[in-house]
Amino acid sequence: MIVNIHETETQFTELISKFQEGEKIIIAQNGKPILQFAPIGQPHPSRKLGFFNCYVDMSSFDDPIEGMEEYE
């Protein structure tokens, strides 16, 4: 369901109810979608990256690399 931002001011409670029932709610401004209701606190499922046929754990991506201290 796409709703104009001005309509949400009067229908907010109704939109929340529909969202909780499973309906996809998109808010538009001047006919262009600008945001979408999304549930809070649900983890993102792991995804396959590009051509790899495996799952990649990116949780330590920003951790320092051993032996590279002199380049910091």
Q: For residue range 22-61, what is the model confidence (pLDDT) as tens digits?
A: 888 899 998 899 998 877 766 666 666 666 667 777 788 8
64 inside domain:
no
Tell me: pLDDT of 17 over 70. Answer: yes
Long-range CB pairs of 28-32, under 8 A, 24+ apart, other chains included: 28/2, 28/3, 28/4, 29/4, 29/5, 31/4
Q: Is the dihedral of CA 37, 40, 42, 47 positive or negative?
A: positive
9 inside domain:
yes
pTM: 0.51
68 inside domain:
no
Tell me how many domains the chain contains.
1
Please list, residue by residue across 17-46, b when 16 or more beta carbons sit within 10 angstroms of its beta carbon and e when fewer do.
Answer: ebbeeeeebebbeeeeeeeebeeeeeeeee
